[in-house]
Chain A
Amino acid sequence: MTDFPPPLSREESLALGKRRRGRNIAMLIALLAVSALFYAISMVKMHAQIGGAG
């Protein structure tokens, strides 16, 4: 049998939602930043290769 945790009060539920939202926003920012960085690294590397070939 599964033991479910006790239900949260409204305040606890709101606080939980706030924490989750904060984590999600942080994750979004991190993913966007990493994407932008990888894009920039790729551009620099490709530019260096084209420059080297030329």
Chain B
Amino acid sequence: MQAHSDAMAISDVGGDSLSPLVGSSTTGSNSTARDWLMMLKPRVVLLVVFTGLAGLLVAPGHINPVLGFAAMLCIALGAGASGAINMWFDRDIDAVMKRTAKRPIPAGRIAPDDALGYGVFLAVASVIMMGLATNWFAAMLLTGSIFYYVVIYTMWLKRRTPQNIVIGGAAGAFPPLIGWAAVTGSLSVMPLILFGMIFMWTPPHFWSLSLWAHEDYKRAGVPMLPVVAGAKETRRQIMLYTIAMVPFTLLPWYLGYSGPVYGVSALLLGLWFLFDAWRVYTDKQDATGVSLTGDKPAKTCFKYSILYLFALFGAVYVDWAVR
């Protein structure tokens, strides 16, 4: 259960109907449109849309641009809704983590109940709109992705196991499947490979972050790998996952789903990732693996991992466009 008091939940019921001259410290009145936008984790949504669009574009067949746009909007809204419900559920740990303490709920600008209602409404709306605009198989996958992120990752795994982001990483890997399904109404090998690419990318991406943010996670009681197994093991795992991921990203080329533009890009981008992971692994550290350089390589690796995923899926686009 949530550790914090639900006092904030006595939110702004009717808060906005009060005269502006009557004082109101209710959270809803303190929120801005930007706060509601931030509840959707727009940076994550951007990545989700980018990868989802790859599935939609490379899928065989044709989708009307209006319906394609609607599908992408539904993927974005579904991801945003998951983010909002995640923020609602994690409001207690967000409040004690430096990185998340300024989010609208812990900062007291949006009431938890309002956030939950917002998230659930958007989740349901996105699934219904996906079903009506494209097909119900894509809507089912969207439902699965929301359920996976909210229930499997957020509510079940995140606070229980250091493998939270390994298993939970699947939630972020759904968009190419949904994009593909929106066009074809089915799945095949290529979208599953795209799914696998994001799935394998997630651990090195998150563990790079958790290496330098582990104090935050520790304080919040989240069993991220560096907190439970130590920094040394985390560095080793980042290296191992990156070694496994890079050859996997070459599969679309190897299996003939993509051309050389993608293949060469994936290879070069992957080699760079390996280099960054190696630098994390060999970072100057004490006996327990704690960095003596302020975790500079881990920060670089984290930043590069974001660029990497954009560039990798960008290569999927370019390759598709030139083929």
A12 → chain B closest CB, angstroms: 7
Which residues of chain B are near A19, meaning CB under 8 Å?
Answer: 29-32
Interface of B (DSSP majority class):
helix
Q: Is B73 within 8 A of A26, CB to CB?
A: no
Q: Given the complex of chains A and B, what is the CA–CA distance between A20 and B21 in angstroms?
A: 13
Q: Is A37 within 8 A of B70, CB to CB?
A: yes
Q: Is A23 within 8 A of B24, CB to CB?
A: no
Which residues of chain A are near B25, meaning CB under 8 Å?
Answer: 5
Q: Given the complex of chains A and B, what is the CA–CA distance between A20 and B22 in angstroms?
A: 14
Q: Is A8 within 8 A of B21, CB to CB?
A: yes
B139 → chain A closest CB, angstroms: 14
Q: Given the complex of chains A and B, what is the CA–CA distance between A12 and B22 in angstroms?
A: 10
Which residues of chain A are near B70, meaning CB under 8 Å?
Answer: 37, 41
Query: Among B16, B23, B64, which residue has its beta carbon within 8 angstroms of that of A20?
Result: B16
Q: Is A13 within 8 A of B21, CB to CB?
A: yes
On chain A, which size bracket covers the interface? 20 to 34
Q: Is A26 within 8 A of B36, CB to CB?
A: yes
Query: Among A22, A37, A41, which residue has its beta carbon within 8 angstroms of that of B32?
Result: A22
Beyond A37-B73, A40-B66, whether A4 also contacts B22 by CB under 8 A is yes
List residues of A (1-53) whose CB comes within 8 Å of B's CBs: 4-8, 12-13, 16-17, 19-20, 22-23, 25-26, 37, 40-41, 43-44, 48
Which residues of chain B are near A20, meaning CB under 8 Å?
Answer: 16, 20, 29
B27 → chain A closest CB, angstroms: 12
Which residues of chain B are near A41, meaning CB under 8 Å?
Answer: 66-67, 70, 132-133
Q: Does B33 sit within 8 A of A, measured CB to CB?
A: yes
Q: Is B66 within 8 A of A44, CB to CB?
A: yes
A10 → chain B closest CB, angstroms: 9
Which residues of chain B are near A12, meaning CB under 8 Å?
Answer: 23
B132 → chain A closest CB, angstroms: 7
Nearest residue (CB) in A for B109 is A19
Beyond A23-B36, A37-B73, whether A5 also contacts B31 by CB under 8 A is no
Q: Is B23 within 8 A of A22, CB to CB?
A: no
Which residues of chain A are near B26, meaning CB under 8 Å?
Answer: 5
Q: Given the complex of chains A and B, what is the CA–CA distance between A25 and B37 in angstroms?
A: 13
Which residues of chain B are near A4, meaning CB under 8 Å?
Answer: 22-23
Which residues of chain A are near B31, meaning CB under 8 Å?
Answer: 19, 23
Q: Is B22 within 8 A of A5, CB to CB?
A: yes
Query: Among B22, B32, B133, which residue has its beta carbon within 8 angstroms of that of A8?
Result: B22
Which residues of chain A are near B24, meaning CB under 8 Å?
Answer: 5, 8, 16
Nearest residue (CB) in A for B22 is A7
B56 → chain A closest CB, angstroms: 16
- Counting from the closest, the 10 A-B pairs by CB-CB distance are A26-B33, A5-B23, A8-B23, A6-B23, A22-B33, A13-B20, A7-B23, A40-B66, A44-B66, A44-B64
B contact set with A: CB distance below 8 Å = 16, 20-26, 29-34, 36-37, 64, 66-67, 69-70, 73, 132-133
9 A–B contact pairs at CB < 8 A? A4-B22, A5-B22, A6-B23, A7-B22, A13-B20, A16-B24, A26-B36, A37-B66, A41-B67
